[in-house]
Structure 1
Amino acid sequence: MSVLKAYRFKIYPDEAQKQFFVATFGCVRFTYNHLLVASQQKKEQKLTPAKLKKEYPFLKETDSLALANAQRNLEKAFRRYFTGKSDFPKFKHKSNPWQSYTTNNQGHTIYLKEGQLKLPKLKSLVKVNYHREITGQIKSATISAKNNTDFYVSILCVEEIPSLPQTSQSITIAYSPSELLEGSQSLLQITFNQDSLVTKIDKVQKKLKIRAKVARKNRIPLAEAKNYQKLKERLARLQVSQKEKKEDFFDQLSYYLVCHFDQIMVDATIIENNQEACTVVFTKADWHCFYKKLVYKSNWYGKKLIDLD
């Protein structure tokens, strides 16, 4: 089965590459917002990135495919709005901690070589944490950054996914706030435990409140309080680690289910009745994240997913 599959890696650009990425984020944001304004004014001639380049020459220095994708994203946002799937498109802001742009692979302009990534318009290769092999054909790459410090790339590929062997087994699963699924610990024969990580997060959050009080007492703005900012960064790293470990568990559990069972039945009615006086490790948002993975993996590997609700 031919599917679209995405791979996400952390990248480590040098200073010149960082400047290129940040400049591209700005140009994409600039293009998106100007096209949004033009669509609201309902001019006779449709504004395009090519026309914007004539008026704003600095746009020529960035990746033209990134600007074209900004236009496509806006058109998609309008389609979702007119079909009632989302609100009216909003302006993109520089203050958003996450910035990104998408570029396409045209004539082998995006590729990985010896732990380095080639991107359009960028002459030098970017160092990447290449921890998973890509076997499919690269279609596009999305560069994203948090606070312009941590950079990532999501590579979209077309891959052939072979169906898994049939097992003639079936299972019924239900949401559990402590295990995600009833009996999931025994299913995987692994232990998912974030107690130590949760304890660290709680301690850092308490210390952060104390540091904030001290800064206010000394009349120091929190943005200028170095100890507060260091602790805030540490808390962010711990929370990212917590999220990544959960997602890794979701991937393991969903893949295990599609490997060992041909028919997976989901008893969604138990979700509402399962909120007992127990420690909530997995929220309903976690459950929906896991369920999405289970849906597409069942489709990929030729297994049947049945919603009993």
Structure 2
Amino acid sequence: MNILITGGAGFIGSHLCDALLKRDHHITVVDNLVLGRKENIAHLLSRNDFIFIEEDLLHEEAMKSIFRQGNFDMVYHLAANSDIQKGGKDPMVDYDLTFHTTFNVLQLMKEFGIKKFFFASTSAIYGETRDVLNEDYGPLKPVSNYGAGKLASEAFISAFSSTYKIQTWITRFPNVVGERFTHGVIYDFIHKLRKNPTELEVLGNGEQCKPYVYVKDLVEGILYVIDHSNDMYNVYMLGSDTRTEVKDIARMVIEEMALDAVIRYTGGDRGWIGDVPEFRYDLAKVNSLGWHAAHDSDDSVRLAIQKALGK
């Protein structure tokens, strides 16, 4: 297939490029490099079946030219603001980078007659709840601008899928970890400890508890869902049904860095405004399809720490 990946120079997107190229697809990546990094795809740039275009999805005329020339069979849309704290400081960040980018891509798919679409969604659409989350859970009440942008995107994707007959796959991610990440709890802890090896500041009380999934397991899950589900509109949770507390991540990072650091908690049940202290996934739907993550949450975290440290 001739595939467009938005955000393909990013953390998850670059791993998706690797996986799709192994399947002999031709890949075009569009990324504005605000969060993506060219070094993530440097090993692909010399390939004849890979094209990288540095462009902003909000530049409509430039994107029309890319779609006109690309003759794409399918779009994988991963571009978004993935930094929830940044979006919390300025709501326009997620309006532009999370929602508006999605709407522009949908408009281009409609205009150029592209009938297959993948969307990277998130647990943040659910908001704050102690209930076990599945694909049919509701009502959805996001507490972050990022979650609101993703939920608004899902609403328009559903409408475009129905109205313009675009076959759609949506997978909702938990916390994703692994090599090439640019932010998140592991990334922050490592950088804090490199600045001060004697003390690690942890935002909140350390009891925040969430499922973590290793990035290569996630990409395998995305492709498995697309291969094995064929409705017009397909929605699946991906990740691990186990969870890891932030205080355990802190201990693992200190241990893997071979430090004797003291952990200092700032207090409160969350790290920042818009942070969801805990959530839990029900993966029965994707498990019944035949997919299970190769690593549980704790193993995903430890593996990601080791990869980040070059082990």
Name the TM-score, length of structure 2 as normaliser: 0.25
Relative to the length of structure 1, the TM-score reads: 0.25
Which is higher, the Rg of structure 1 or of structure 2?
A: 1
